[in-house]
Each structure stands twice: as C-alpha cells, then as structure tokens.
Amino acid sequence: MKIKYELLNNEKNTLARYGLLHTNYGTFETPMFMPVGTQATIKTLSPEEIKEIGSGVILSNTYHLWLRPGADVVKKAGGLHKFMNYDGAILTDSGGFQVFSLAKNKKKDITEDGVHFKSHIDGSNLFLTPELSIEVQNKLDSDIAMSFDECIPYPASYEYAKASTERTLRWAKRGKDVFNNDNQSLFGIVQGGEYEDLRRFSAIETVKMDFDGYSIGGTSVGEDKTTMYKMIDYAIKYLPVDKPRYLMGVGDPIDIIEGVIRGVDMFDCVLPTRIARHGNAFTKYGKINIKNAKYKEDFTPIENNCDCYSCKHYTKAYIRHLIVANETFGARLLSIHNIRFLTRLTEDLRIAIKENNILEYKDDFMRDYCNENKN
C-alpha cells in the first residue's frame, strides 16, 4: 500500500504538527528522526537494536546499493526488508546527493539526460538518470522512494539555481512516469537554493505532480542557520497539509527543533553515528568528546537521565577507554546513545506539540544545550 499521513494535532503557537505515518510495516508517530543505514545497515548496530532504540523508519542509499551488491541481488533476496532483516519501514534516497558530490565538473557532468561521474569504489565511469534511479529503487522495494534531483550547492548564483531547479522538476516528472511499484510511495523534492521565488516555484510545481509526500532538499550544505531556516520557510507554506514533509540531511538537535516549529515531520542524518565514531556524544548540555582526559576516571553514564542501553550499563570512563583503544564497541555504544538522544528529542517534541508549549520547550532545551560549562 501507499503510505498515508494522518494529521492529529496542530500546535497553536507555531506551524508544528503531530501526526501518524501509516506504512506497510507499521504506524509511526511524527515528528520523527530516521537513522541512516547507507549500505543497508546502520553502522555498527543491528536491526533489533535500532528498533529497541525507538526508531521507526530508517534510510538506505540507492547509489551505494546499486553498486554493491546490486539492485538485482536485493530483489532476488525478496527486497531490502528481507535482505537486511528489518521489519520496519525503509526510505531510500535517490542517490543524487552522492552523485553530485562525485561529479567533478558540474557544468559538464550534469546534463539534461542525467549525471556522469566516477565510482568511488573503482573509478569506473557511471551514468545515472532519473529513470534508472527509480528503477533501482523499485527493485529495492523500500516503502518510500525519492525522486532524482540535483542538490544545489551553496552558494550558487541565481542563474545556476534557476536552471538546476527547472531541470530537477523535469527529472521528477520523468521519474514519476516510469515509477512502477504498487507497494512503494514516491516523494517529490523541493529545491531552489536560497532564493525565495525559486523555492516557491519548485514547491508549487512539484505539488502539481501529486507525489505521496514532499521533501525539502538542498539544505545543510554549508549555509548558515538563518539561511537554512529561510529555505524551509520559503517552501513549506506551499506543501499540502495532508501529506508528510521531510527535511533531508538534517540531524543537529537545534535544527530538528527549528524544523519541527516550521512544520516538518521527518528528518534524517548520518550525524549521530558519524560523530560517535570520532568519540562524540550528544547530551542535554551539548556535545561532549569522550576522549577528553577529564572522563578517564568518570564512572557515570553519558547522561544520567538517558534510558538507552549504553547509559544503563556503561560509564564514560569505559567508553573512553574503548574509543582511545580504537575498539568498535565504543563506537557502537556512542551510536546507540546518539540515535536514542535524537529519537527521544522527537518524542519530547511530540508531547510539546500536543500540550501547545513547543516554544517553551525550545527555550528550555536551548538554555541547557548551549551551556557547555555544565559538561
């Protein structure tokens, strides 16, 4: 079946909203944070651990799975859910972001037909089109597939952003025309760079194509926070209220709060697992680096009030030892904590929406999170 979004509460002071996302693999509350499992796995964690943390929808990456092990292999396995043994919902991105990071000459490599680039694995020449991206995602059989788009770099000239936005709309139509999976939903992506009129144009024209949900793309690509929030504001007012809204590639706690206040339902980012591998942890009082010498004899959990497995069973001193010794278990424990921190954040935001006090929640969160002296 196609996913369905059910709006249950509008927060009276902001555009924040609480709802339910109905999928083939369960119903999940929104706003939600979605961990990223690029290669059909959340790095260092099992599917069972991901569900225990409280995650519902997770991500996998079309580009990486297209190259390894190949879409046909995943299809023969029975689809991505069976291949990776995950019985929750899965969203696959289009591969566009990875492709554009690999396309060296944007003017030459990005054409109307698609994108030329070199494989990050063996350097071979590859060509990805909107049609091929959708074909691969249909074979992967995720619950939600994404349209193929260009993630406009920041900064970009108005002329470049305009041409790219118009091409992304043409690519979206081409992808939708060949989409062929009744059990899968397809999201459109709003682009437009930092320009209000282009964001409005992209949102209106994308909505006309009647996708199952809508994403705001091209944020968190080097712009300042004020610009990022404007990008959201410029687009979201034109998106339908009865379909989910997804802000792509955003996982900073403050950005999640700001996105929710602006009406976003879904977020994803590699941040919690990436910073974990470098010894960093989210806490109520900001990020900490567990490698800091002051934690060598700190026999308390990462956070005293955290209900995650890591905080229930292990201390900062032990986790620091693991990270300094380059033991994978340390990255696992920090990844569990960081993902749980963000899922718990969205749980708290859902409560704040229902109680109409999300601005007070934001103020309280910011007062603590920005007070690094308490760490």
122 is catalytic: no
Q: Which of 141, 143, 149, 268 is catalytic?
A: 268
Q: Are strands 266-269 and 245-247 parallel, antiparallel or unpaired?
A: parallel
Number of other CB atoms surrounding residue 257 within 10 Å: 24
Can you tell me the distance from the alpha carbon of 178 to that of 283, in angstroms, rounded to the nearest whole number?
45
**What is the amino acid identity at position 27?**
T
Which DSSP category does 121 fall into? T
**In contact, 116 and 109? CB cutoff 8 Å:** yes
Query: How many residues make up the chain in this entry?
Result: 375
Residue of 299, 308, 231 lying closest to 276 (CA atoms)? 308
- Report in angstroms the alpha-carbon separations of 27 from 4, 71, 368: 9, 27, 32
Which ranges of the chain does DSSP label H, i.e. alpha helix?
47-53, 62-67, 71-76, 80-84, 96-102, 106-109, 130-140, 158-178, 196-208, 225-236, 253-261, 271-277, 309-313, 316-324, 328-354, 358-369
Q: Which of 72, 87, 93, 212 is catalytic?
A: 93
Q: Are strands 125-128 and 115-118 parallel, antiparallel or unpaired?
A: antiparallel
Q: Which residues are catalytic?
A: 93, 268
